[in-house]
Amino acid sequence: MRDLIVLFKLLSALGMGLGMWWLLRTSSQHPVQPPQLIFVAGGFEYRERHAARLAREHNLPVLVSGGLSADYGRALFVEEGVQGPQLSRDDQAGDTLENFTTLLAELQQRQVRHLLLVTGVDHMPRASLVGRIVAGSRGIQVTPAPVDCGNACIWESPLKVAADGLRAVIWVVSGQDVKTLVLARGLVEAPR
């Protein structure tokens, strides 16, 4: 078991290194252009409310990946003055990597080249790393728009950030989520 932990830490460090290399490589390739969409990764009320205010302020469409119940989420956006075709929701994602991989085809279909990523300030390092790797691999620029999470903040460890960075790099290279492969082989238990 100890060897598995050491291997995981090494792979996570490699993932962080590859992720940073990817960010540096892709950040200078695309000219900065105005954002075309607000993308909410996972949903807590404060994230979705912030996204609604940004949407109203900048007249941008919003795509919420995961999050509050559809009815409650829609009501929150209507309360903030955002409704109809300006709001899209998708509940396929089970985690941060899937927020991007499950909606990548839709982002490409909408011809999105630049999005604002809305999530909590505590989740932003991991979400922006994953988003920049996955969306960046398809030429989509990701600009963080963090939300203060106040007392609800749960800061993520650098190891968790690095591990998801590695998952994102593996997904870009192989089209497969290593978590799914590991769970399918029974090497670790599914999180509860």
CATH superfamily of 2-184: HUPs (3.40.50.620)
pLDDT tens-digit series, residues 99-141: 999 999 999 999 999 999 999 999 999 999 999 999 999 999 9
Domain ranges of the chain: 2-184
Q: Residue 152's pLDDT is what?
A: 86
Q: Which residue has the tokens 């982002």?
A: 107
Q: What does the pLDDT look like over 139-165, one tens digit per residue?
A: 999 999 999 998 889 999 999 999 999
Tell me the percentage of the chain whose pLDDT exceeds 70: 78
User: Which residues, 6 or more positions from 74, have their beta carbon under 8 angstroms from its beta carbon?
Assistant: 83, 87, 89
Q: How many CB atoms lie within 10 A of CB 160?
A: 14
User: Can you tell me the distance from the alpha carbon of 133 to that of 172, in angstroms, rounded to the nearest whole number?
Assistant: 8
> Beta strand pairing status for 62-65 and 37-41?
parallel
pLDDT, one tens digit per residue, over 28-72 is 455 578 999 999 997 789 999 999 999 999 999 999 998 778 888
